[in-house]
Structure 1
């Protein structure tokens, strides 16, 4: 069975491969920053022991509470007082803190940058793939759900490859080094302090599957909510015309309640998990303080060493405290990767290919030879359709609703593939032409007029590589919309609302006709696009 995250993983690894130097710098900064940070507790313990020795000297006691490791580090000769080296230690402490801070900044900057590159690549690949999917995909998938996967799911995947990776990396470096440093102070004390951590594995195994379940339910319901909102806003005039505002509000609130239910379930599970971690952390601290105090009382441990051990203990438990959040990021990221991959796993439209014959220079003779087509393996919409339309001639196809008029137009554009028969242009089967080249020679005006939320000029020039105002004006004149456009305050630069809401039905249809004509195609297909003209 195919791994549901394989495609997303490939994109992530490809991003890392292309930016391996950047990633290596982040990894090095992470390791160096953590190693230097581990010196700070050591210097802190040495400073405290130095202060304690200074107090002993003031009281005329010649105590030496300095470890041999500290003497060797600072090259302190026997008989010299460790308190004399406190200024040096303070400087060392400050420099270590500064260097550690610099590397911590580099680490965050680089790892966050890598995760942003992953996010960019995911969105780029996903959007490009969505453009190549067949029309059947958009018939069964709601646009709101697709938008949710392309936005919130990509963001969740980024969090998995950014903060989650960073904290896991920190823990991987910090845990063994901190444990080693603690063991050099007191192996017994280290074992007592770590005793409650054995229960942490049980907590992780118990809560992680539940987090995954709640996270999947939440993200799917968020997709449903986004789809409902998108449909409602797109059809707001229909909603108002039929006074369905209250009904739509109730439906939206019902979906919102389901999202809230999933979110609260996830929050409860995460809260219980975090509570278990804090409880284990507190238990470990209590055990450590009890046995640490006993070792100090028995003079087996200096006050500085105890403080050093305490700081290591805090550094050790911070990754444990962050573990709940990291696991949530990983769980949500994996769920999101699966949802994204469900889109990436869809096969692209076989008609979308740049290979094939160039359609440039065709005369435009169209032939249908016993063509048949059925949607979703149902009853044929068109069957045994045959006709020939010579170049430069006009053919009107009329018939009742649902008889297949739009389907014939879609078959010519290769938006759908015939289940039987053959379609040719200039005697060559259309499947032999490169699809992008073929469609560039066909000016298509669909039954449902769609205009983008940009200027009128940009809408007319949509099929051009770059806008040529003169060509747009000529196409508008042919479509008999130029004069009306030029009467607008900003003329062709007038911005349109969503779906061209600030134009009348007839103006929208004529603008769409101008868009189909701007490239001077050899074939023009009008799919019931004159109803409001």
Structure 2
């Protein structure tokens, strides 16, 4: 029952509802005791020959009133107990969602999306059931069971009550043992479901790759095995769960045998009347639900405890990227400077960036090039504070980025990542994602700068075309340009294009670059690229090699230096010439 203790914060929060619901349950249990008593009285009157029509009608009207009151009270307690449990589910989902949004990329590198989804769905539902059905079952079984036993003992016969309760310790031991087994097996079942959830999410996202490599059969077999594992673990849970009802029914059956045997003997000895024995057996029948309820209770509670442990474990993960106390809330602006002695990813001792020193005046353009894995993206993500650099600093307008609130810092930056993600919304809504209040004129202007306006206008629905499963399938270049338009619409102080022109042709790339130069006066732009034509115009170009700046300068200066940059430029120029059908004799 530790889960109820763990959820005490919520019960305290919703105490008015729960207390009202518990009072209603208590009254329902009290009213439920009346019909068996009335039946016993009527049986005795029949045996005595003193039952008249008027008396019978009075008792029937009384039972009708009891039934109506019970109906009303049951309606009320359902609202009072199940209502808060639904709010708990909402609260936990909100906590998880907010927590997920606070976490850095490191958090997601360690956890799978399917597992996080399982926490937000199945685990939350199990905890919600504990706060609803669990509370109901606990209170109802205790109040109903307790009142029935009291009525049997005080109103009918105390020794007979003790006799019929003799098998109950056996039931307490059995249900406790089953509950322990259930907790262990349900934890494994939930973990298996998380794995399956992740498998489905991964395969749906990567369905094109699976088909392209002809791996449908292998993935189906992998899914079949994983699904069979989920079934096996849930069957193991069901096997334990299925033990509760037979065990409880068997023990209640023993109590019935004792009640009939010893009760008949008491009637013969005139210790109790036949009507009292009838009432006693009816009360004993009413004990079946509280006994079964204990079985349900262990099932619900152990499931809820396993799930709540998983949720708490997830929520206990601390943010590794936080704001300073009294951090600056104004949007940063001004010159950009990097001064990084060394940077290693969390939980790694290998430095991926070393001796990075450069300064960029406000309004200038920085070009970053280098081989794959040289540290280009890492250099940019540090500016966004996706990771924190402990051995170095970056400043905007002379102020460290760590002195600004993250929200203020990121409001100054428009970032176009290598991997483009579009939401299942219209093209206009995707472009205006960071500026929901943008007018259609602003959206179209951003699309024109990103050279995607003409493509959008060719769609039947234009800017109202829905992206995703229900809409159009976009090419890689179109996705890139929509992502660029999304960032341009913000008109940020710093625009970062992280290899975001790789999927467009050379002519479109040149047009986008020229549009950016013309429309971003006094705004800083950083372009990371593999094609050097994208950064020829930059005021400063740095060449990264193994996390260090191997070359720096303007395009002309780097060509004169005749090192890696110059070699790559000549190589790409030759490739472009060949692609255009030219060549040398």
**TM-score (norm. length: structure 1):** 0.90
Distance of aligned partners of 1:319 and 1:466 in 2 relative to their CA distance in 1, 3 Å threshold: farther
Distance of aligned partners of 1:203 and 1:16 in 2 relative to their CA distance in 1, 3 Å threshold: closer
Checking the alignment, whether the CA contact within 8 Å between 1:451 and 1:500 is kept in structure 2 is: no
Mapped to 1, the partners of 2:384 and 2:351 lie a distance apart of 19
Which is worse superposed, 44-53 or 281-290?
Answer: 44-53
Partner of residue 61, structure 1: none
| Corresponding residue SS for 2:366 | coil
Structure 2 counterpart of 1:332, from 296, 299, 303: 303
Q: CA deviation at 1:205?
A: 2.8
Distance of aligned partners of 1:490 and 1:17 in 2 relative to their CA distance in 1, 3 Å threshold: farther
Partner of residue 280, structure 1: 251
Checking the alignment, whether the CA contact within 8 Å between 1:357 and 1:432 is kept in structure 2 is: yes
Checking the alignment, whether the CA contact within 8 Å between 2:141 and 2:294 is kept in structure 1 is: no
Aligned: 1:39 with 2:10? no
Mapped to 2, the partners of 1:338 and 1:499 lie a distance apart of 38
After superposition, where does 1:284-363 map in structure 2 within 5 Å? 284-351=255-322, 355-360=326-331, 362-363=332-333
Aligned: 1:161 with 2:131? yes
Structure 2 counterpart of 1:425, from 387, 396, 408: 396
Partner of residue 207, structure 1: 178
Q: CA deviation at 1:333?
A: 0.4
Aligned: 1:28 with 2:43? no
Partner of residue 110, structure 2: 140
Mapped to 1, the partners of 2:101 and 2:406 lie a distance apart of 14
Q: CA deviation at 1:419?
A: 3.1
Residues matched between the structures, number: 501
Q: CA deviation at 1:14?
A: 4.5
Checking the alignment, whether the CA contact within 8 Å between 1:123 and 1:150 is kept in structure 2 is: yes
| Corresponding residue SS for 2:165 | helix
Mapped to 2, the partners of 1:201 and 1:5 lie a distance apart of 19
Distance of aligned partners of 1:530 and 1:354 in 2 relative to their CA distance in 1, 3 Å threshold: farther
Mapped to 1, the partners of 2:199 and 2:429 lie a distance apart of 29
Instruction: Please list every run of 5 or more consecutive structure 1 residues that lacks an aligned counterpart in the other structure.
Output: 58-80
Partner of residue 76, structure 1: none
Partner of residue 78, structure 1: none
Mapped to 1, the partners of 2:470 and 2:384 lie a distance apart of 23
Checking the alignment, whether the CA contact within 8 Å between 2:449 and 2:485 is kept in structure 1 is: yes
Checking the alignment, whether the CA contact within 8 Å between 1:144 and 1:224 is kept in structure 2 is: yes
| Corresponding residue SS for 1:530 | coil
User: Residue by residue, what CA displacement relative to the aligned partner does 1:300-342 show, whole Å, maximum 9, x if unpaired?
Assistant: 3333222211221122221111222221110010000011111
Distance of aligned partners of 1:156 and 1:31 in 2 relative to their CA distance in 1, 3 Å threshold: same
Structure 2 counterpart of 1:93, from 45, 51, 63: 63
Q: CA deviation at 1:352?
A: 5.6
Structure 1 counterpart of 2:492, from 493, 518, 521: 521
Instruction: Please list every run of 5 or more consecutive structure 2 residues that lacks an aligned counterpart in the other structure.
Output: 505-585
Structure 1 counterpart of 2:47, from 41, 52, 61: 52
User: Residue by residue, what CA displacement relative to the aligned partner does 1:209-256 show, whole Å, maximum 9, x if unpaired?
Assistant: 111111011001100110111101100000000000111111111111
Q: CA deviation at 1:5?
A: 7.1
Checking the alignment, whether the CA contact within 8 Å between 2:339 and 2:357 is kept in structure 1 is: yes
Mapped to 2, the partners of 1:208 and 1:18 lie a distance apart of 28
**TM-score (norm. length: structure 2):** 0.82
After superposition, where does 1:104-143 map in structure 2 within 5 Å? 104-143=74-113
Mapped to 2, the partners of 1:410 and 1:5 lie a distance apart of 41
Partner of residue 187, structure 1: 158
Mapped to 1, the partners of 2:150 and 2:273 lie a distance apart of 18
After superposition, where does 1:247-266 map in structure 2 within 5 Å? 247-266=218-237
Mapped to 2, the partners of 1:353 and 1:262 lie a distance apart of 46
Aligned: 1:511 with 2:482? yes
| Corresponding residue SS for 1:377 | coil
